[in-house]
Structure 1
């Protein structure tokens, strides 16, 4: 989903599969658990989770969270588990929907700050007139009318138009430059048109069945059919512009909704109506590659709706993208809340 305005359609929106987005109209239930009821709690690396928690806890506004953050800064790795068990209580938050966990990642493209025969597809900044319009030109108009030419709006040039399209879906990424250095870009705005799924369009044309469509399938089809593939990408009128994110080192993760770097396999995108941003979250993901670990809610996404719905950040690059793209698993998540805050959520007769 990877900045506060992360263009997080997710894999499901890309291929047109409806995902659980209810919950706001259902009754929300809160149940306090004991740490002994968290499957695999004893075996996790709590110090790794504490380090991630420290990356964003300084940004809390509420006094109880600020106090916890101050204590967290005094902890040594060996006391991380005791810190969480002493000062938090696990709260299972349910809204009537089953748990569903997907993944997201940061794409990495090959590019240059200068146009060449190889690097000829521009990553654009947002034009001022687009920023002041509710709805600006469509993708087709932006790419074919010449309206962007000669204005110095190019941040960089990349060598693959298909990967650039998917960069717009993720909303942020890294560009590997010819000298081996990296340039990071983040979401900078959009043209105001609704996203139109190209996966759904392939199904509508009878090229694939719905269960066959994935990001990789779409990429392969566009590359095998360059002319029709270009038209397929133009079928989506939505267009995302970027900004250069120069203050985040290439060794750190991209910025999440808290404007801090997220961490592979320790950061979650959540629905902040249920899970406070910055809160530790115990994840019990079932399915292939079962996962039991303490994460931190540091991001959001437009496809992430519900108390038991989350997106796991898998990292940067193709390998992370393949792992994230395969993920669609059940399970449950349990939010760790400050003790007084946790008890305040429970029914009075508890």
Structure 2
């Protein structure tokens, strides 16, 4: 089958991995039924940061001039809803289905967990979330350092030069010494691990106060999914896997769980995000608070933040119940496991219910990118 594709303006990395098939908006299932006003507000929030040149937490592909021009148009509007918001996207963007050259579109979910914790260690709270060490050097996309594996995305600065940063096992065994101070303590290694995977958390202290922790860096080592490892070992099937089952297994098998979690060499550092209001979402890779149901994590090596993506698939409620997914989302985050042109992570929000739904989402999904159309 011959696919009509567009390559204009594509980065070499993206052109190598996917075809983009031009569509019309009427080709998008239930396009007119979506809440375009909610999508516009999320897009406008991205535009505020983009035009202010606010630093990205995890830098992505550079912006196109067309997207910047559209952002200026968006900021000239205080609020758009309904048909007006829909027409804004239809006027300023053109839809292209993303057709990976290998595999197919795949969507997972993530959330901001909430766990009990303490600012001081105790018999109950003894697992630290560490702050960013001063000797951690984060490498920009495509940057390398002499003598280091080019696959590493961070390094340790020493008096003699640079070396690979310690992996998870070494850090947990004390390799950083006093270079990384605890931000807060939680109860279980499994809780800390989930916070590492999600990249943020709400921590409820003994007095009821909630503090927020946000991503502050990583050791640059490769990410490995322990859920996939459990499935390969036959502990549970992929269809049975939920966040509750995973947490339960880690809790019930402490010795095996420790070894399993260390198979994931990646280690995340945090900071206290005191600037966030309780009603705001956590900070994403773009450096702005995420919006539940509208913020999408994408492969930052292929896409820029602020791009709208239309998704078609299923949103599960349980292992055997789901609702149709037909939604416009905005690229505002990224993740170590989010790799590929049609690979995304759907932000569900904060707390237990959001976590339950996030853990159920691992579905084949149709990805359509809305590419900026030149502003007259």
Q: Residue in 1 aligned with 2:36?
A: 46
Q: Residue in 1 aligned with 2:22?
A: 31
Pick aligned residue for 1:123 from 97, 122, 129: 129
Q: Residue in 1 aligned with 2:293?
A: 265
Q: Structure 1 residues 38, 147: closer, same or farther in 2, change over 3 A? A: closer
| Structure (1 or 2) with the greater helix fraction | 1
Q: Structure 1 residues 161, 307: closer, same or farther in 2, change over 3 A? A: closer
Task: Using CA pairs under 8 Å that are at least 6 residues apart, name the structure with larger relative contact order, 1 or 2.
Answer: 1
In the alignment, the residues of structure 2 paired with residue 209 and residue 38 of structure 1 have an alpha-carbon distance, to the nearest angstrom, of 33
Deviation at 1:153, TM superposition (A): 0.9
Please give the secondary structure, in 2, of the residue aligned with 1:49: helix
Deviation at 1:235, TM superposition (A): 5.0
Q: Structure 1 residues 32, 167: closer, same or farther in 2, change over 3 A? A: same
In the alignment, the residues of structure 2 paired with residue 244 and residue 200 of structure 1 have an alpha-carbon distance, to the nearest angstrom, of 31
295-304 or 135-144, which moves further after superposition? 135-144
Q: Residue in 1 aligned with 2:97?
A: 92
TM-score, normalised by the number of residues in structure 1? 0.78
> Could you report, residue by residue, the CA deviation over 1:2-51 in whole angstroms, capped at 9, with x for unpaired residues?
xxxxxxxxxxxxxxxxxxxx976445233132x22211111111111111
Please give the secondary structure, in 2, of the residue aligned with 1:340: coil
Asked whether the equivalents of residues 18 and 98 of structure 2 are also in contact (C-alpha less than 8 Å), the reply is no
1:101 paired with 2:107, answer yes
In the alignment, the residues of structure 1 paired with residue 88 and residue 239 of structure 2 have an alpha-carbon distance, to the nearest angstrom, of 45
Structure 1, unmatched stretches of 5+, are 1-21, 342-350
TM-score, normalised by the number of residues in structure 2? 0.73
RMSD: 3.1
Q: Residue in 2 aligned with 1:16?
A: none
Q: Structure 1 residues 135, 62: closer, same or farther in 2, change over 3 A? A: closer
Deviation at 1:234, TM superposition (A): 4.4
Asked whether the equivalents of residues 93 and 274 of structure 1 are also in contact (C-alpha less than 8 Å), the reply is no
Q: Residue in 2 aligned with 1:134?
A: 163
In the alignment, the residues of structure 2 paired with residue 274 and residue 140 of structure 1 have an alpha-carbon distance, to the nearest angstrom, of 31
Deviation at 1:189, TM superposition (A): 3.1
Q: Summarize the alignment of residues 199-238 of structure 1 with structure 2, pairs less than 5 Å apart.
A: 199=227, 202=230, 207-208=235-236, 215-238=243-266
Please give the secondary structure, in 1, of the residue aligned with 2:285: coil
Deviation at 1:237, TM superposition (A): 4.6
Asked whether the equivalents of residues 190 and 238 of structure 1 are also in contact (C-alpha less than 8 Å), the reply is yes
Deviation at 1:194, TM superposition (A): 4.2
1:329 paired with 2:359, answer no
In the alignment, the residues of structure 1 paired with residue 313 and residue 133 of structure 2 have an alpha-carbon distance, to the nearest angstrom, of 42
Asked whether the equivalents of residues 199 and 214 of structure 1 are also in contact (C-alpha less than 8 Å), the reply is no
Pick aligned residue for 1:305 from 321, 339, 358: 339
